[in-house]
Amino acid sequence: MVGTSAEGARRACRESKVLAVGAGGIGCELLKTLVLSGFEDITLIDMDTIEISNLNRQFLFRKKHVGQSKAEMAREAALKIAPNAKINAFHGNVKGEKFDVDFFKSFDVVLNGLDNLDARRHVNRMTLAAGVPLVESGTAGYNGQVTVHRKGETECFECQPKPVPKQYPVCTIRNTPDKPIHCIVWSKDLLFPGLFGEPTQASQENGAGEENGAGGEEKDLEISTRQPGQSARDYGATVLGEVYHDAIARLASLEDMWKERDPPKPLDSSLITAGLGKVAKASSAGGPRGAAGESASHVLGLTNSHAVWTVEESVAVFVLTIEILLEHHAAKIGMLGFDKDFDLSVDFVAAASNLRSFCYGIPQQSKFDVKGLAGNIIHAIATTNAIISGLIVLEAQKVLLKQFSDVMTTFVQHNPTRGRLLQRIPPQKPNPKCYVCSKAMVRLEIDVKKMTLGQLVDEVLCKSLAFKHPTVLVGPTMHFESGNDLEDDEVLHYGKQRKKILADLPGGPIAHNALVQVEDYSQDMSVEILVQHKVFEDEGSAEFFAVHGEVKGREEGEEGGGDEEGGDSDDDDLCVVVAEGEGAKRNDAEEGEGERESKKQKTLM
Amino acid sequence: MESSSGRAEEGGGLTREEEAILDRQIRVWGVDTQCAIRNAKVAVIVLSSEPNLSFLGTTKEEIHRNLVDMNPRMAVKVLVSSASESVGSGANALDSGHRGHVTAAEVVKNLTLAGVGHLEVVFGPASSLDLAAVVSKHDVAVVFGKSVVGINRVAESLISGGLATTVFSSSVRGGCGYAFLRRPNDPAFSKSTTLAAALGSLGLGQIHRPRKVNKMYFLLRVVYAHEKSGGGGHEKGPSLAEKDAILSLAHGEIPEENLRPPEELVMNYLETEEEMPAVSAIIGGSLAQEVIKAISGKGELMNNFYFFSAYGSKDSGEAKVEKLALAE
C-alpha cells in the first residue's frame, strides 16, 4: 500500500462501520483483530451455538459457553478486550428477513467468515445489491484464502464455479457400493433414519418401507417392527439378521446384477453369535450400560476411536446401540437424525457401515474416520484462522482507504512455494458469463414433460441457483411467487401450481425454448432462463437437469483432496443421497474457464 | 505464577475429552502430532518490563487465568523478572491506546489452543533477564522484542545455555515484522548463522543469499547497524526521530542502490513501536505453525528468515521465507 501508514490505517478503522458475518473459527479471530485494530462499530451475525469441538480454535469461547449463542458470547468476550467498542450481535440467520438490502447498505464493508456455500452466495448477492464491498474468506486445515469483491470492478463470489456437495446415485448406495463412503452414506441416510427417525426424502422414495422392486434391483430393506414384549437387544439382533443376512442373501441371489462384479456375502451366523456374546459379556460385567451419555462402543471397552473394529465388535456395537437408543432415548425414536455430536448415532453409523463394507469386501474404517466422513467434518486449526483474520483486516483497510489498486487475493499455505507462505494474485475482473453480477442468461436443460414446477423451484432455483424467494414468470403469466407476504389464497394457489408439470402449466407453459424470468426481490436478483427440453436417459444418475452458465462447479474431490474444499465448517452436508430422477447436475464449468488465471488457484469455500 | 491443574503427563494417548475438543485439528495433523504437541515444552520470552499480553491479559495473574481457562490441561507458568514485578496495571489492553505485545499474545494463544502441554511465558528486559534462573529446559523457545541486538543476545543465551535447541526470534513494529530461526544442531541449518551475523557482523558480500531478497532484510541490516552504533533504546529499538541517521547509514551499509530499503518501508518501521494487530495475527499464526512443525517434525520449517510487511515496498504482502547464511 503506497502512502499508507499504521496510523492512517487505524484512523480508517475507527471511522468505519463493518459487518462481520460468522462468529466461528474465522469469526472469533476476526473480531479480535478488528477490535485490536481500532474498529469501533462492528455488527456481528451468527446463527450457531457453541459446541465442544469449537474450543480448539474459537478462543473467545470456553467450555462453560457450550450451547450458547456464538454471536452473543463473541461480543461479550470482545468487549473485554475493547470495552469502548460498539458491537451489535445478532443470533440469527444472515438470510433472515431483517437483514435486507437496506441493512447491508448501512455498512462500509462486509467481512465474511462463513462456513457454507448457501450463506456465502446470499451475502454475495446482498452486497452486490447494496453496492458494498465484500471481503470473503475461507479456511480448511492449513490452507485458506481471502478475496475482495467489488461490484463492477472485480469478480463476484459466484463468478467462478464453487465445489458443491458430492452426490451419490441411490442405486450405488443401495445395491452396489464399492467404497467405504457408499456404505457410510447408506447407513447414515437410509438405515439410521429408517430405524430411528423420519426417513429422508431419498429413503422415503427409495429405501425402507417399500416392497422389493422388480427388474433385478433390491428396492428396500425389509425391517420388522419391534414386537410387544420383545427385548430391545433381541430386536437389535433381529434387525441385524434381516439387514446383513437376509437382505444381502436376497440381493446376492439376483444373478443378473453380479455378472461383472462379485456378489456381496451375507454375514455369517457365527460372527453374529460372537458379537452378541460380547454384548452379553459387557452387560454381565455390570458396566454403565445405557447411561444417558454413554455410547455402545465405550460400554464395550472400544475406547480407541482410531482403531478399526473387528466384525464381531461391529456386531456388538450395532446391537447395543439399538438397545441403548430404544431403552434410554425412547422419546426421541422417530425423530432422530444423524448427529456427529451424538455419540450413539456415530457408533451406529460406524458399526452399520463397517458391517456392510464387510459384506461387500470393502475396507472397513475407524470410528474417527467414519465420523469425519458422515459428519462432513472440515479440518480446522487456529493458526490458519488467525492468519486469515489478519489478511481480511488488511484488505478491508485497503478498501476503506480506497486503495483499490493494492487489493489482492491471497492464498495461505502450509509450506512455502518459491519461498512464499502467502501466494497473492490480483483480483479478477467480473466474469461476463456470471448470471449473478453480469446478468448473463442461464440455459437450463430439463425434461419439461416430467419436471414439476415444485421441482423447478426447489431443486433448480433454490438449491442450484441459490434463490431465496423466487418469482417465476413466463411472459405476463405469473406461475409462482414465494415469500412471507403472500395471502392465504395465494399460498394455496401456488401450492397447487407446484404439483403441475412444466409443459402443462396454464397460460404460458414452460416448454422447449421458453424464456423464463426469475426474480427475487429479497436479493434484488433477476435472471432470464432459456429452457431447453431434454430427456435424461440414465435414471440411475444423480443428475436430472443441467444448468449452463457460471453457476456451480466441479464436485468436491474432483480436484485435490475433498478436505481442502470446505470452509471452516461443522455443518455443511457432504454426503447426499440423491434419489433416482432427482438432484442437481453441475453446470458445464469448463466453458471459458481455460483463460481464467485464478482458476489455477484452488478456491476454498 | 505456576499451574499444572490439568493433566500434562508424558506419554500415553489422548483422553476422551481431549479427542472431543481437539477433534478438528487431529484431523489435520494426526494423533501422533497431537501427542507430540501435548508432550512439548515451549517458552515464550517477551523482552519487556511490561507483562502486557494484549487480549490475553495485562497482569501475570490475568494472563495465567486466561491460559488455564483456555486449556486446563496445560501446565503453564507466567513469570515476570523481579526488576519489573510491580509493572502491569491490570487495565484493559486498549484502555490507554496501548495494545501490548500482540504478536506474542497471538503465538501464546495459538499454542495454547493447539494443546501444548507445558508453556512458560516470561517477561523481562533483555539487559537484566537472568534466563538460567527463570527458564527451564525447553524444546522450543520464541523470543519477542523490539531491539534486534537485544533479541539476538537472549536467543544466543538460550542456545549456549542449553535451554532450548530450537529458538525463534521475532519482532513486529507497525506493519513490519520478521522471524528468524536458530537450530544449530539441525544439519539443514547453519551452525554459525546467528541473527546478528546474518544482519551484519560480516559484510553483505559474505552472506549467502537468494538473488532477490525481501526488502525487509536490508531494512533490518540497517537497523541492526544503527543499534550497534548506539542508536535506539535498549528495548524499544530506534524511533522516527532517528530516521535521517538510519537513511544515511543505509548508504554506507548497502552500497548497491537497488538493494537499499525504500524510504517508505523505513518510515513504516520507525513510525511506531506499536504492533499492527493484523500483521501480528499473520506473523503470530505463521510462527505458531512453525513451532508446531518444529515439535512434530512434519512440514517444511522456515529456514531461516521470515519477512512480512503490510506496505511500503513492492514485496509487501508476501510472507517470504529466505535463507541467509554464513559460509560454514
- List Cβ neighbours of A503 (8 Å cut-off, separation of 6 or more): A448, A449, A509, A510, A511, A533
Q: Is A413 on the interface with B (CB under 8 A)?
A: no
- List Cβ neighbours of A421 (8 Å cut-off, separation of 6 or more): A412, A413, A415, B286, B302, B306, B319, B320, B321
Q: Which of A332-336, B89-93, B168-172 has the lowest mean pLDDT?
A: B89-93
A169 Cα distance to chain centroid: 17
In A180-268, which ranges are continuous DSSP H helix? 180-185, 192-196, 201-206, 232-241, 247-252
What distance in Å separates the CA atoms of residue A82 and residue A62, rounded to the nearest whole number? 19
Domain assignment of residue A583, given as a range: 442-591
Q: Is A342 on the interface with B (CB under 8 A)?
A: no
Strands, E assignment, A92-177: 109-112, 134-140, 143-149, 167-169
Within-domain flag for B237: no
User: Is residue A119 marked as binding?
Assistant: yes
Q: Which of A179-183, A544-548, B81-85 has the lowest mean pLDDT?
A: B81-85
User: From the list A35, A53, A303, which residue is nearest B20 (CB)?
Assistant: A53
Domain termination residue (choose one: A425, A454, A485): A425
Most confident by average pLDDT, A176-185, A568-577, B203-212: A176-185
Average pLDDT over residues B20-44: 95
**Residues in chain B within 8 Å Cβ distance of A414:** 289, 299
Within-domain flag for B222: no
The CATH number assigned to the domain holding B64 equals 3.40.50.720
Strand A109-112 relative to strand A17-21, pairing: parallel
| pLDDT tens by residue, B6-30 | 343 444 678 888 899 999 999 999 9
Quick one: A120 and A207 in the same domain?
no
More confident residue, A122 or A6: A122
The pLDDT-based confidence of A595 (bands split at 50, 70, 90) is very low
Query: What nine digits make up the cell of A463?
Result: 438449491
Domains identified in chain A, total number: 3
What distance in Å separates the CA atoms of residue B93 and residue B97, rounded to the nearest whole number? 8
User: From the list B95, B277, B282, which residue is nearest A387 (CB)?
Assistant: B282
The CATH number assigned to the domain holding A128 equals 3.40.50.720
Within-domain flag for A431: no
What distance in Å separates the CA atoms of residue A341 and residue A337, rounded to the nearest whole number? 11
Q: For residue B174, what is the DSSP state?
A: B
Average pLDDT over residues A335-349: 94
Within-domain flag for A520: yes
Strand A17-21 relative to strand A41-46, pairing: parallel
What distance in Å separates the CA atoms of residue B292 and residue B299, rounded to the nearest whole number? 9
Quick one: A14 and A158 in the same domain?
yes
Quick one: A181 and A160 in the same domain?
no
Contact A5 B25 (CB under 8 A): no
Please name which of B46, A9, B215 lies closest in space to residue B223, comparing C-alpha atoms.
B215
Strands, E assignment, A141-181: 143-149, 167-169
**Residues in chain B within 8 Å Cβ distance of A410:** 317
What distance in Å separates the CA atoms of residue A418 and residue A434, rounded to the nearest whole number? 33
DSSP letters, A505-541, are -TTS---TT-EEEEEETTTTEEEEEEEEE-----TTS
User: From the list B55, B272, B310, which residue is nearest A36 (CB)?
Assistant: B55
Q: Is the pLDDT of residue A165 over 80?
A: no
Compute CA distances A122 → A462, A463, A551, B181, whole Å: 11, 12, 13, 44
- CA B217 to chain A, closest CA, distance in angstroms equals 14
For chain A, give the mean pLDDT. 85
The pLDDT-based confidence of B258 (bands split at 50, 70, 90) is confident
Within-domain flag for A390: yes
User: From the list B20, B21, B321, which residue is nearest A421 (CB)?
Assistant: B321
**Residues in chain A within 8 Å Cβ distance of B289:** 142, 381, 383-384, 414
pLDDT at B283: 98
By residue count, chain B amounts to 328
Within-domain flag for A509: yes
ipTM surpasses 0.90: yes
Q: Which residue of B has its CA nearest to A26?
A: B281
3-state SS, residue B212: coil
Domain assignment of residue B85, given as a range: 2-185+273-323
Q: Which residue of A has its CA nearest to B92?
A: A81
3-state SS, residue B257: helix
As beta bridge partners, residue A330 has none
Please name which of A233, A173, A231 lies closest in space to residue A206, comparing C-alpha atoms.
A173
Contact A37 B102 (CB under 8 A): no
What distance in Å separates the CA atoms of residue A262 and residue A257, rounded to the nearest whole number? 9
Quick one: A367 and A221 in the same domain?
yes
Average pLDDT over residues A555-581: 37
User: Is residue A36 marked as binding?
Assistant: no
Strand A143-149 relative to strand A409-417, pairing: antiparallel
Residue A137: is it exposed, middle or buried by C-beta count within 10 angstroms (0-12/13-18/19+)?
A: buried
- CA B177 to chain A, closest CA, distance in angstroms equals 13
Contact A36 B94 (CB under 8 A): yes
Domain termination residue (choose one: A425, A458, A490): A425
A-B C-beta contacts closer than 8 Å: 192
User: Is residue A568 marked as binding?
Assistant: no
pLDDT at A550: 54
The pLDDT-based confidence of A293 (bands split at 50, 70, 90) is low
Quick one: A446 and A411 in the same domain?
no
What distance in Å separates the CA atoms of residue B106 and residue A28, rounded to the nearest whole number? 13
pLDDT at A580: 33
Please name the residue that has the C-alpha cell 430422477.
A581
Quick one: A118 and A160 in the same domain?
yes
Q: Could you tell me the pTM of the whole model?
A: 0.86
The pLDDT-based confidence of A232 (bands split at 50, 70, 90) is very high
Contact B55 A32 (CB under 8 A): yes
- CA B43 to chain A, closest CA, distance in angstroms equals 18
For residue A359, indicate whether it is catalytic.
Answer: no
Within-domain flag for B55: yes
Within-domain flag for B89: yes
What distance in Å separates the CA atoms of residue A287 and residue A284, rounded to the nearest whole number? 8
Question: Cis bond leading into A116, ω under 30°?
Answer: no
Quick one: A399 and A370 in the same domain?
no
Quick one: A36 and A146 in the same domain?
yes
CB B221 within 8 A of CB B202: no
Quick one: A252 and A210 in the same domain?
yes
pLDDT at A10: 81
Compute CA distances A117 → A161, A510, A553, whole Å: 11, 29, 12
Compute CA distances A588 → A448, A546, A555, whole Å: 20, 8, 12
| pLDDT tens by residue, A47-75 | 999 999 999 999 999 999 999 999 999 99
Please name which of B172, B191, B143 lies closest in space to residue B281, comparing C-alpha atoms.
B172
Domain termination residue (choose one: A374, A393, A417): A374
Query: What nine digits make up the cell of A421?
Result: 507462505
CB B286 within 8 A of CB A383: yes
Q: Is A29 on the interface with B (CB under 8 A)?
A: yes
Contact B24 A81 (CB under 8 A): no
What distance in Å separates the CA atoms of residue A349 and residue A183, rounded to the nearest whole number? 9
Q: Which amino acid is located at B140 in the chain? A: V
- B131's enclosing H/E stretch is helix B131-134
Residue A541: is it exposed, middle or buried by C-beta count within 10 angstroms (0-12/13-18/19+)?
A: middle
CB A422 within 8 A of CB A411: yes
| pLDDT tens by residue, B233-253 | 666 788 889 999 999 999 888
pLDDT at B129: 83
The CATH number assigned to the domain holding A541 equals 3.10.290.20
CB B74 within 8 A of CB B112: yes
User: From the list A377, A379, A424, which residue is nearest B317 (CB)?
Assistant: A424
What distance in Å separates the CA atoms of residue A165 and residue A342, rounded to the nearest whole number? 22
Within-domain flag for B263: no
- A281's enclosing H/E stretch is helix A269-284
Quick one: A298 and A417 in the same domain?
no
Q: Is A390 on the interface with B (CB under 8 A)?
A: yes
Q: Which of residues 295-334 of A touch B (CB under 8 A)?
A: 298, 303-306
Contact A422 B319 (CB under 8 A): yes
Q: Is A62 on the interface with B (CB under 8 A)?
A: yes
- Farthest-apart Cα atoms in chain B, separation: 61
Within-domain flag for B238: no
What distance in Å separates the CA atoms of residue A530 and residue A532, rounded to the nearest whole number? 7
Q: Is A31 on the interface with B (CB under 8 A)?
A: no
More confident residue, A222 or A168: A168
B92 Cα distance to chain centroid: 23
- List Cβ neighbours of A390 (8 Å cut-off, separation of 6 or more): A33, B277, B278, B279, B280, B281, B282, B285
CA dihedral (B215, B220, B223, B225) positive or negative: negative
- Farthest-apart Cα atoms in chain A, separation: 81
A230 Cα distance to chain centroid: 39
Phi and psi (nearest 5°) for A402? Answer: 55, 35
More confident residue, A183 or A578: A183
- List Cβ neighbours of A388 (8 Å cut-off, separation of 6 or more): A26, A29, A30, A137, A138, A139, A144, A145, A146, A412
Q: Is A214 on the interface with B (CB under 8 A)?
A: no
pLDDT at B117: 96
Q: Is A82 on the interface with B (CB under 8 A)?
A: yes
Domains identified in chain B, total number: 1
3-state SS, residue B63: helix
- CA B312 to chain A, closest CA, distance in angstroms equals 6
Within-domain flag for B92: yes
pLDDT at A543: 67
Within-domain flag for A433: no
pLDDT at B212: 83
Average pLDDT over residues B154-174: 94
- CA B69 to chain A, closest CA, distance in angstroms equals 7
The pLDDT-based confidence of A196 (bands split at 50, 70, 90) is very high
pLDDT at A213: 31
Q: Is the pLDDT of residue A553 over 80?
A: no
Quick one: A370 and A397 in the same domain?
no
pLDDT at A591: 30
The pLDDT-based confidence of A539 (bands split at 50, 70, 90) is low
pLDDT at A596: 36
Within-domain flag for B144: yes
Burial B114-127 (b: 16+ CB within 10 A, else e): bbbbbbbbbbbbbe
Check A171, A183, A359, A462 and give the catalytic one: A171
Query: What nine digits make up the cell of B228?
Result: 550497534
Average pLDDT over residues B156-179: 94
| pLDDT tens by residue, B264-312 | 999 989 988 889 999 999 999 999 999 999 999 999 999 999 999 998 8
- CA B132 to chain A, closest CA, distance in angstroms equals 30
User: Is residue A88 marked as binding?
Assistant: no
pLDDT at A357: 98
Please name which of A551, A540, A539 lies closest in space to residue A586, comparing C-alpha atoms.
A551
pLDDT at B6: 39
Q: Is the pLDDT of residue B256 over 80?
A: yes
Q: Is A377 on the interface with B (CB under 8 A)?
A: yes
Quick one: A11 and A135 in the same domain?
yes
- List Cβ neighbours of A378 (8 Å cut-off, separation of 6 or more): A115, A140, A563, A566, A567, A568, A569, A570, A572, B24
pLDDT at A582: 32
Within-domain flag for A601: no
Q: Is the pLDDT of residue A206 over 50?
A: no
Phi and psi (nearest 5°) for B233? Answer: -80, 175
More confident residue, A584 or B177: B177
Q: Is the pLDDT of residue A556 over 90?
A: no
Burial A337-372 (b: 16+ CB within 10 A, else e): ebebebbbbbbbbbbbbbbbbbbbebebbbbbbbbb
Q: Which of A15-29, A94-108, A203-217, B153-167 has the lowest mean pLDDT?
A: A203-217
| pLDDT tens by residue, B113-132 | 999 999 999 999 988 888 87
The pLDDT-based confidence of A560 (bands split at 50, 70, 90) is very low
